[in-house]
Chain A
């Protein structure tokens, strides 16, 4: 059985993702002048992520300099200064930074490990069968207990509706990841099912994450 508390502790001990930025193609690298370890980096911003993140370097190939910007917010850990002004191959690691996990990311990580995710078999619109749908709407998804092979969804594609049974361990529906009348890509989670004995533990950990997890700007 998965020890969720241990998982949370593990994330707490290392509350970030180590990320590295690599050369997108071969070329001569020029790091941004104010780049130094400990610098706080920003990722793409704006309502449509239209403003690029912090400028990290320029890579020039065939007299065509292109900016390399930070893909996520975080803190700069190491810069490979020895590459400054050098010609590098595509995929060469240029720098490393730590991306501190946000509350949602931690929650997502825990739930991914704790829940059984039932994936959409193909791109379609999905609905719950009417009986379950009414129950979810009135009492919430956690009031629904599902068994292996139970007819749970209706898959609607090109106006053809096919019943779709649930396959997996039995438990309550902890989270619903699709919305009404929206197309869902194949292999995208539809629901997350939690074994009934683990439910209080999961709820407690999620609550702890929501209240205690420090957000870093």
Chain B
């Protein structure tokens, strides 16, 4: 009797779960399930025990068949509800059921620096013949904890991500693979040190070149939070999971232009979830994941032990594959891989096929290179490149030429030249000392006869005694700017936003946008200026040479109306994407610049912008010149491109990592407003980040912070001064002195491989 009641209770739970997944939608199969269960409950009173068992068995079979049918009808939004359901498997279930033993590190339920991020050392026991091996692995993942409040829904705080980074580095030291489990709706958007954006950027930057195999499993891949631990050699995804640049509700709020506490209606949310192509199948087709792990009907729950077994097998297979693909000699590697794939097809039990996971140094280098190559080719189809074939062909030749030239000039010739110069310097120093010692009696005698002051050069005397002159031309061009904003032609007054606080008087537009370069002379507030102002006034005149201009922003997800909006942006701005990449000079020092233009779709970054950014970094690397990312303004990743945009976070950060590792100088300069994905990846990872005064830098805007955390951020929360105080940026520049500051930065900062050093 108890057994029957238990089975009945389980059916009730299954029905309640199914109802939750389909929310308020009417569904015939669901209705039938409800009525069959109701009928059974009515009839069971008049049945004997045997009849009850038979009827219950029938009902269970009917439930299984119906669930299979319902599973086939799942929409993307249903899958979002599945991953958010408290009954969904969580990391602790995986640790219990997939690994043979584990120790949680730095947390015990709510007693943790961030309970939404769980770290564990685990091992998997495998055999080869009669020998057994315990293979260690570092587990890093978000923990939703079946709806436990303190887990924050798996939304990791910056310090949680910092903990994850620390243990990735521990895994690197110990030479063991990392398995990451992404169960997050997104990162917790607070700027408190280390800061959501800056920490995600640091994580991606470190993971780009982590010298151990990294395997990630995505269940709920919510935007930047997912990328913080999601960069991997192999990315697996659970069949009922989602991986997206923004939550469907967030996309619907943007699409429906909703403000404040307004909520999007369910149909719009459903439409957005479908259009954004967030499911595992969509992401596999686009190439952003490598493999789908099939879940039971209506999603995996903690009692699906077969699923845990298949997850374990997949993790073993993939970790083996990554290790084998970089170990040993190339022909042996490919042979081993091919034979394992064949045997896997025939049902090989990976627990009985032991493969070493620790990598020798040469294999570690190959692993990192393979990871970079893998990400380099992603999302190429999402950004149409309309460069004519002849130009592409010549570009390849040019690039090869620069590489050879740089190698010859700066690696071979320059190194020898430097050695000779060092010898000459040493000889000169010794000679000077020797010469001074010989001349010292004569100099002393001369001082006594003529007087020491008389021997001082006249020019030195003038410099020491007269007031120095302000070098206007170098610093502020004396207010004679080469480019003057068109707003300077308007005869009107402009009020400074700080007039209430600092008592700034109204400014006449021709003065403000002309001579003052958009800076309030009283309080120093910087009014936003056009990007052209920087192009003409910061860099040497006529030195700008744009490249990759034909890489065009597209509409890879075929979003309705977005195509026309994009065309409008292209027509208005005269650019084909929000990123302009060019070569320029400052005081004759060459540099490559990637500029995000706020006027083009808010400076959002999609596949085209990412591709151009990467090409710029590669060009700077080939030519051994500094690389500047000037952000005129960016609102984040372009949500209309879905994962095609999101993947630019790791792609571009990896390009930056390659460039910095090659000895370059990467400087970031933020102007106006810079938020979200780009700041949390390829911009935020720079060791030299500067903000133009009055700019705002952060992860999420005040509205999103208030909605997510329930606490309204104070005014000026994202201001560059706050960012500087939190340690997110390294300095604040006055717009009028940007040329001078940049020039000085080129001379004082950077790595070993800059040609002018």
The verdict on A64 contacting chain B, using a C-beta distance below 8 Å, is: yes
In the complex, the chain A residue whose C-beta lies closest to that of B499 is A66
In the complex, the chain A residue whose C-beta lies closest to that of B508 is A62
B residues 481-503 near A (Cβ < 8 Å) are 490-495
Bound-state Cα–Cα, A64 to B509, Å: 10
The verdict on B714 contacting chain A, using a C-beta distance below 8 Å, is: yes
Bound-state Cα–Cα, A63 to B508, Å: 10
The verdict on A46 contacting chain B, using a C-beta distance below 8 Å, is: yes
Q: A61-B506, A64-B506 are in contact. Are A48 and B495 (CB under 8 A)?
A: no
B residues 101-135 near A (Cβ < 8 Å) are none
Q: A63-B491, A64-B493, A66-B495 are in contact. Are A50 and B506 (CB under 8 A)?
A: no
Residues from chain A with Cβ under 8 Å of B492 in the complex: 62-64
A residues 43-74 near B (Cβ < 8 Å) are 46-48, 50, 61-64, 66
Evaluate contact between A48 and B714: CB separation under 8 angstroms: yes
The verdict on B715 contacting chain A, using a C-beta distance below 8 Å, is: yes
Residues from chain A with Cβ under 8 Å of B493 in the complex: 61-64
Residues from chain B with Cβ under 8 Å of A66 in the complex: 495
Partner of B712, one of A46, A62, A63: A46
In the complex, the chain B residue whose C-beta lies closest to that of A46 is B712
Bound-state Cα–Cα, A50 to B713, Å: 11
Bound-state Cα–Cα, A64 to B490, Å: 11
Residues from chain B with Cβ under 8 Å of A50 in the complex: 715
B residues 709-749 near A (Cβ < 8 Å) are 712, 714-715
* Secondary structure type dominating chain B contacts: loop
Evaluate contact between A48 and B712: CB separation under 8 angstroms: yes
Bound-state Cα–Cα, A64 to B506, Å: 9
Bound-state Cα–Cα, A25 to B744, Å: 44
Bound-state Cα–Cα, A215 to B126, Å: 73
In the complex, the chain A residue whose C-beta lies closest to that of B507 is A64
Q: How many A residues touch B, CB cutoff 8 Å? A: 9
Partner of B715, one of A48, A62, A63, A64: A48
Bound-state Cα–Cα, A61 to B715, Å: 28
Residues from chain B with Cβ under 8 Å of A64 in the complex: 492-495, 506
A residues 61-112 near B (Cβ < 8 Å) are 61-64, 66
Residue-wise, chain A 16-60 has the 8 Å CB interface mask toward B (1 for contact) of 000000000000000000000000000000111010000000000
CB distance from B260 to the nearest CB of A (A): 11
CB distance from A187 to the nearest CB of B (A): 22
CB distance from B52 to the nearest CB of A (A): 61
Residues from chain A with Cβ under 8 Å of B715 in the complex: 48, 50
Bound-state Cα–Cα, A87 to B491, Å: 19
Evaluate contact between B712 and A47: CB separation under 8 angstroms: yes
In the complex, the chain A residue whose C-beta lies closest to that of B492 is A63
Residues from chain A with Cβ under 8 Å of B506 in the complex: 61-62, 64
Bound-state Cα–Cα, A47 to B705, Å: 14
In the complex, the chain A residue whose C-beta lies closest to that of B500 is A24
In the complex, the chain B residue whose C-beta lies closest to that of A47 is B712
CB distance from B527 to the nearest CB of A (A): 13
Residues from chain A with Cβ under 8 Å of B712 in the complex: 46-48
Bound-state Cα–Cα, A12 to B712, Å: 37
Residue-wise, chain B 497-527 has the 8 Å CB interface mask toward A (1 for contact) of 0000000001010000000000000000000
Bound-state Cα–Cα, A71 to B493, Å: 24
Residues from chain B with Cβ under 8 Å of A61 in the complex: 493, 506
Residues from chain A with Cβ under 8 Å of B714 in the complex: 47-48
CB distance from B639 to the nearest CB of A (A): 27
Bound-state Cα–Cα, A93 to B415, Å: 78
Residues from chain A with Cβ under 8 Å of B491 in the complex: 63
B residues within 8 Å of A by Cβ? Answer: 490-495, 506, 508, 712, 714-715
Among all A-B residue pairs, the 9 with the closest Cβ atoms: A62-B493, A63-B492, A64-B493, A47-B712, A50-B715, A48-B715, A48-B714, A64-B492, A62-B492
Please, could you name 23 A-B residue pairs with CB atoms under 8 Å apart, sorted by A?
A46-B712, A47-B712, A47-B714, A48-B712, A48-B714, A48-B715, A50-B715, A61-B493, A61-B506, A62-B492, A62-B493, A62-B506, A62-B508, A63-B490, A63-B491, A63-B492, A63-B493, A64-B492, A64-B493, A64-B494, A64-B495, A64-B506, A66-B495
Q: A47-B712, A64-B495 are in contact. List 14 more A-B contacts (CB 8 A).
A: A46-B712, A47-B714, A48-B712, A48-B715, A50-B715, A61-B493, A61-B506, A62-B508, A63-B490, A63-B492, A63-B493, A64-B493, A64-B494, A64-B506
